[in-house]
């Protein structure tokens, strides 16, 4: 089932639509946004020179810094009075970025979110437990409007107050939940502690996003909440959640609603466009936005695109999961490292669970990475039992062995020496509702 027939438009027709929309939006921003007019003039190009999305690589990128330079309303293409809502990025990286929406933009936002819900398995009439934060962050209101548009019953819980969330889930019996993947883990663990099994829960589908996550986390959430979770991606500069959504049929990459947001993936260093399958920085060009259309916006998110046909029948291009932000990339003794690479290694080790933290320090001139990871509960119980009942040294020996084998596994796969610290189950910080920072970079303090 689809929300809009455009989701299955043959690709040649989709391209025609994109080209028409692009020509319109280029003329629109040229007339209305001084930033773009100056940029075009400096480059000596006329709006009419951009005929097709294939011409986009001829234009410069728009970066977060450009939005900051024009903070708060300098990038608007309409008078501020014609906008009906303001959101801001959660400010994960530095000062918040303010974005505005006209009524039509809010309709588009709701439309792409309604599509996303259907793709994730939700249907009109289902109950949605919405644990994305409400407020300046786009997550709560964006998903809320989309679900209402689809005809779902929305419970606007917002983030935090986990005990109340648990009660609401048990009492109201939602079929669908939206939140960050780390918060879904928190909820899942809480149910487990209470002895509530997935069979006792009404939940079927989870739309998880706003931060990077992996197949390990997916398996953990699916098992503890009894859902089939899918990836929901977005960023406030482009619209908020609903830029792309994984389909429940494929669960292998998220369909970008590219009749509204035209994607490219480019090399992080050279800015050159990359072919399908190659990882680089994700770029978006707005095709339909009114309040603050952006051309070639540099998201900083690292992923790849694929045009392979999908099991669900949608023709819209898919993006892989986000490996990380370009800003999240750690440079450790000259080598590039994404925290998700460490997670990949940890997932292959059954004695530990996907709760980890990466701490980076500088000792003298050397960068030091410490990986703190929780030991699986049953393994922990077994080893500590041994220590209490018989042989403390043997238990200690087993823990050291486990730690050493993780250390050499990381060294073998990533090629860097990292200190591994095994943590008692439940001691790594959990999400309390919002985005979880898994990297603590003490070098930046």
Residues of this chain that bind Zn ion (CB under 5 A) = 247, 250, 310, 312, 314
How far apart, in whole angstroms, are the C-alpha atoms of residue 258 and residue 239? 13
Nearer to ligand ADP by Cβ, of 97 and 165: the residue is 97
Residue 229 touching ligand ADP (CB under 6 A)? no
Tokens encoding 312? 């669900």
Nearer to Zn ion by Cβ, of 29 and 312: the residue is 312
For the bound state, the minimum distance from the C-beta of residue 175 to ligand ADP, rounded and expressed in Å, comes to 21
Q: Which phi and psi (to 5°) does residue 357 adopt?
A: -140, 140
Residue 92 touching ligand ADP (CB under 6 A)? yes
Residue 185 touching ligand ADP (CB under 6 A)? no
Radius of gyration of the chain from its Cα atoms, rounded to whole angstroms: 23
Helix extents (H) in 153-234: 162-172, 181-193, 215-225
Q: Pattern of binders to ligand ADP over 126-145, x per CB under 6 A?
A: -----------x--------
Residue 263 touching ligand ADP (CB under 6 A)? no
Instruction: Find the largest Cα–Cα distance for the chain.
Output: 81
Candidate residues 236, 285, 315, 357; the one interacting with ligand ADP per rule CB under 6 A: 236
Q: 247 touches which of Zn ion, ligand ADP, none (CB within 5 to 8 A by kind)?
A: Zn ion
> In the window 325-364, what residues touch ligand ADP (CB under 6 A)?
325
Nearer to ligand ADP by Cβ, of 162 and 236: the residue is 236
For the bound state, the minimum distance from the C-beta of residue 249 to Zn ion, rounded and expressed in Å, comes to 6
Other beta carbons less than 10 A from residue 222's beta carbon: 16
- Using the contact rule CB under 6 A, the part of the chain among 49-57, 84-92, 184-192, 335-343 near ligand ADP is 84-92
Candidate residues 235, 247, 295, 422; the one interacting with ligand ADP per rule CB under 6 A: 235
Question: Per residue, what are the HEC states of 129-164?
Answer: EECCCCCCCHHHHHHHHHHHHHCCEEECCCCCCHHH
State the DSSP code for 61: P
Residue 98 touching ligand ADP (CB under 6 A)? no
How far apart, in whole angstroms, are the C-alpha atoms of residue 213 and residue 356? 12
Other beta carbons less than 10 A from residue 172's beta carbon: 13
How far apart, in whole angstroms, are the C-alpha atoms of residue 100 and residue 86? 5
For the bound state, the minimum distance from the C-beta of residue 146 to ligand ADP, rounded and expressed in Å, comes to 15
Nearer to ligand ADP by Cβ, of 30 and 132: the residue is 132
Q: Which phi and psi (to 5°) does residue 45 adopt?
A: -115, 150
Contact by Cβ (8 Å): 295, 276: no
Q: 250 touches which of Zn ion, ligand ADP, none (CB within 5 to 8 A by kind)?
A: Zn ion
Residue 209 touching ligand ADP (CB under 6 A)? yes
């Amino acid at each position: 089932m689809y929300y809009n027939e455009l989701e299955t438009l043959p690709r040649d027709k989709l391209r025609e639509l994109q080209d028409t929309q692009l020509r319109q939006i280029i003329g629109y921003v040229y007339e209305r946004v001084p930033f773009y007019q100056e940029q075009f003039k400096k480059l000596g190009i006329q709006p009419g020179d951009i005929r097709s999305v294939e011409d986009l690589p001829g234009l410069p990128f728009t970066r977060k810094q450009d939005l900051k330079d024009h903070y708060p309303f300098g990038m608007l293409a309409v008078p501020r009075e014609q906008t009906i809502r303001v959101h801001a990025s959660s400010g994960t990286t530095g000062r918040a970025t303010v974005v505005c929406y006209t009524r039509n933009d809010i309709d588009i936002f709701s439309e792409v979110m309604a599509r996303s819900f259907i793709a994730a398995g939700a249907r009109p009439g289902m109950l949605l437990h919405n644990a994305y934060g409400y407020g300046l962050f786009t997550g709560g209101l964006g998903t809320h409007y989309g679900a209402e548009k689809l005809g779902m019953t929305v419970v606007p819980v917002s983030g935090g107050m986990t005990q109340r969330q648990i009660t609401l889930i048990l009492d109201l019996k939602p079929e669908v939940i939206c939140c960050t993947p780390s918060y879904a883990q928190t909820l899942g663990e809480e149910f487990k502690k209470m002895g509530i099994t997935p069979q006792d829960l009404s939940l079927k589908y989870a739309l998880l996003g706003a931060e990077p996550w992996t197949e390990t986390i997916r398996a953990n959430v699916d098992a503890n909440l009894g859902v089939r979770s899918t990836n929901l991606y977005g960023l406030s500069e482009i619209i908020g959640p609903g830029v792309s959504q994984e389909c429940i049929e494929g669960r292998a990459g998220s369909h970008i609603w590219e009749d509204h947001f035209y994607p490219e993936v480019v090399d992080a260093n050279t800015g050159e466009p990359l072919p399908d399958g190659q990882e680089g920085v994700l770029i978006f060009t707005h095709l339909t936005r009114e309040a603050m259309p952006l051309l070639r916006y540099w998201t900083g998110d690292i992923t790849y695109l694929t045009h392979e046909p999908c099991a669900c029948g949608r023709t819209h291009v898919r993006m892989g999961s986000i490996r990380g932000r370009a800003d999240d990339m750690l440079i450790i003794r000259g080598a590039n490292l994404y925290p998700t690479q460490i997670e990949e290694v940890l997932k292959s080790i059954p004695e530990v669970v996907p709760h980890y933290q990466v701490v980076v320090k500088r000792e003298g001139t050397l960068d030091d990475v410490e990986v703190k990871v929780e030991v699986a509960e049953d393994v922990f119980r077994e080893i500590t039992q041994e220590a209490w009942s018989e042989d403390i040294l043997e238990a200690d020996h087993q823990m050291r062995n486990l730690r050493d084998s993780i250390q050499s596994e990381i060294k073998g796969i990533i090629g860097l020496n990292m200190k591994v610290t095994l943590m008692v189950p439940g001691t790594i910080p959990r999400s309390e509702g919002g985005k979880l920072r898994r990297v603590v970079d003490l070098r930046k303090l």
